[in-house]
């Protein structure tokens, strides 16, 4: 089977099957073999690995994964792509193609049944409109994961690895960094895709922490505190928490907690580290 990372081969497959790109699925297929090589290297795929690929498209990256991994499960939501995938992947006996919505699948069950409950690796060229729900869904459902290596919008990748005090830093940065170590491994220009997206892209590797990096009494409560802190970014932290109707926290309680931590009453959420948010959350939880 011809390598799909070469643009001409991709065009031939699409023309043969009269495939039409669907905007609702955010379809942008990779057509650059150098980028594909980088993704495989970054994900450190070996024959011992079970890899879950989200959104295989016509199978461009799937071919690379099959060459390197022990087993691959490719989950594609667009039923029109399933016949194409059968054809482009027919040379491989270590791949299972599933026509489903990844957000509705029980990935934990997949890991148990297909990989004996051992951690799996996720690799994906994600539709940009649904990047965050997919990544956070994988983390929050506590699927056994070793790493997630994904192509995302560059701006989103920068947010995931940003640090306190920067303009990119926010709730997504904290959520991702609570679960994983984030590292951008490649920047990818629009001309590496068909059709070309309007934005730059990046490959980011999220390596799951073996142990949580902070001690927090109630993970869910901490993330409610974090979201409230960034909902109105220009407000002080105590105003953001005190004005959030969904939190059982008053401005006075927020002020006391900040004082206990030795932080200024006028500090904004963007200045606090994950460790400080965990401590703040634990103090507030004890005060309600």
Exposed/middle/buried for 43, CB within 10 Å: 0-12, 13-18, 19+?
Answer: buried
pLDDT digits (tens, 9 = 90+) for 49-79: 999 999 999 999 999 999 999 999 999 999 9
Residue 231's pLDDT is 87
Residue 57's pLDDT is 93
pLDDT digits (tens, 9 = 90+) for 101-160: 999 999 999 999 999 999 999 999 988 888 999 999 999 988 999 999 999 999 999 999
pLDDT digits (tens, 9 = 90+) for 223-272: 999 999 998 778 899 999 988 888 999 999 999 999 999 999 999 999 99
Contact 51, 73 (CB under 8 A): yes
Beta strands in the chain (DSSP E): 29-30, 50-54, 71-76, 95-99, 120-125, 145-153, 180-188, 193-194, 201-208
Cis ω on the peptide bond leading into residue 172 (within 30° of 0)? no
SS3 121: strand
Task: Give all domains of the chain, ordered by start, each with its CATH number.
Answer: 7-208 (3.40.50.150), 219-285 (1.10.8.100)
Q: Take residue 27 and report the two structure tokens written for it.
A: 């379809």
Residue 1's pLDDT is 57
């Amino acid at each position: 089977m011809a390598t799909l990372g070469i643009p001409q081969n991709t065009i031939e497959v699409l023309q043969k099957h009269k495939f039409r790109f669907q905007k609702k699925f955010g379809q942008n297929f990779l057509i650059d073999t150098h980028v594909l090589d980088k993704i495989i290297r970054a994900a450190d795929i070996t024959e011992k690995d079970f890899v879950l690929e989200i959104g295989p498209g016509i199978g461009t990256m799937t071919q690379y994964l099959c060459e390197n991994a022990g087993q691959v499960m490719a989950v594609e939501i667009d039923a029109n792509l399933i016949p194409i995938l059968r054809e482009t992947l027919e040379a491989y006996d270590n791949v299972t193609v599933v026509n489903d919505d990844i957000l509705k699948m029980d990935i934990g069950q997949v890991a148990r049944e297909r990989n004996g409950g051992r951690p799996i690796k996720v690799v994906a060229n994600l539709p940009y409109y649904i990047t965050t729900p997919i990544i956070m869904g994988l983390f929050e459902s506590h699927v056994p994961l070793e790493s997630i290596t994904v192509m995302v919008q560059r701006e989103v990748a920068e947010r995931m690895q940003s640090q306190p005090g920067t303009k990119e830093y926010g709730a997504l940065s904290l959520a991702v960094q609570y679960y994983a170590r984030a590292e951008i491994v490649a920047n990818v220009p629009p001309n590496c895709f068909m059709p070309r997206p309007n934005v730059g892209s990046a490959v980011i590797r999220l390596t799951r922490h073996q142990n949580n990096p902070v001690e927090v009494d109630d993970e869910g409560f901490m993330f409610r505190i974090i979201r409230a802190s960034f909902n109105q970014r220009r407000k002080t932290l105590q105003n953001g928490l005190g004005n959030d109707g969904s939190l059982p926290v008053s401005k006075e309680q927020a002020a006391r907690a900040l004082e206990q931590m030795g932080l200024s009453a006028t500090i904004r959420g963007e200045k606090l580290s994950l460790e400080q948010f965990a401590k703040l959350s634990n103090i507030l939880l004890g005060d309600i």
